[in-house]
Structure 1
Amino acid sequence: MTRLTQIALAQGPYKKFNNYKKETVKYRHLLPPVLRDFVSSRGENIKAVPCLQELTVMMSCWKDNDFVHSKCSKQIQDFQNCWTAAEEAAKMAKVAEMKGHVVAGERPKAKTVNAMLKKYPQPKHSINIKC
């Protein structure tokens, strides 16, 4: 009776696995790997809702007191104070944006970034793209 090793070795020695060898694949440039001189203004119009917490407290107070305004005067005043502060902050941010300043804690607008990129354009590239 023949052994399994004799049968396996009759066809020749086993080859080692080749999946660990990395094949070098040349990268084909579809576009030049350089930065553009502009950014798109996509997704800038998403705005946060100011005073949402105060609004929620005011609405729950109204619901608990059957929409009687006199019982919820403190919550209404808190909401109005918050709203005026938010409007003032929005005005200040708009003035700063018109002057070209970047507001601290916020992403700069695409218009501001594009103005900066116009001042300092990217150098021309020397990559020839072959299709």
Structure 2
Amino acid sequence: MSKRMNEIILRNNYKPSKFVHMQRDFRLRDKVALRRNRPGAAECVTEMSVLMACWKKNEFNDSDCTEEIKIFHSCCAEAEKTKKAAIASEKSGKIGDGKMTSKQVTSLLQKYPQPR
């Protein structure tokens, strides 16, 4: 028989069953796998590019770019504050805005376990 004929026979004779038997009940587990959070977008990139453009324009002289340097340092300080706040909230287990870490999800699932 040709390959095409085998395909036609199999297609016409093989029909999967409509009912699929599941071995387990649908329920959530009490914990999730520990995963590292992927770092988000880099912070203060626009301020850094403005600062580098200023340096290039002024032949890498810091005295002409004091305003850009101040803006860049303030952005870095603000980013460091938000990073420390996120780490502190993760350690305390407090759930805030944004994405939850796997530890926070596990603690929340353990507070409200699924009935067996």
TM-score by length of 2: 0.73
TM-score by length of 1: 0.66
Q: Equivalences for 1:1-131 in 2 at 5 Å?
A: 25-29=18-22, 32-42=25-35, 44-104=37-97, 106-124=98-116
Quickly say closer, same or farther: Cα 1:35–1:66, change in 2 above 3 A: same
Post-superposition shift, 1:43?
5.2
Quickly say closer, same or farther: Cα 1:25–1:43, change in 2 above 3 A: farther
Q: Which runs of 5+ in 2 are unaligned?
A: 1-15
More helix per residue? 2
- Identity value in percent: 34
Post-superposition shift, 1:81?
0.7
Paired AA for residue 115 in structure 1 = S
Q: What does residue 10 of structure 2 align with?
A: none
Q: Which runs of 5+ in 1 are unaligned?
A: 1-22, 125-131
- Computed over aligned residues only, the root mean square deviation of the Cα atoms, in angstroms, reads 2.3
Q: Which has the larger radius of gyration?
A: 1
Q: Quick check: 1:97–1:103 contact (8 Å CA) kept in 2?
A: no
The more displaced of 36-45 and 86-95 is 36-45
Quickly say closer, same or farther: Cα 1:60–1:41, change in 2 above 3 A: farther
Quickly say closer, same or farther: Cα 1:67–1:31, change in 2 above 3 A: farther
Report SS of the residue matched to 1:34: coil
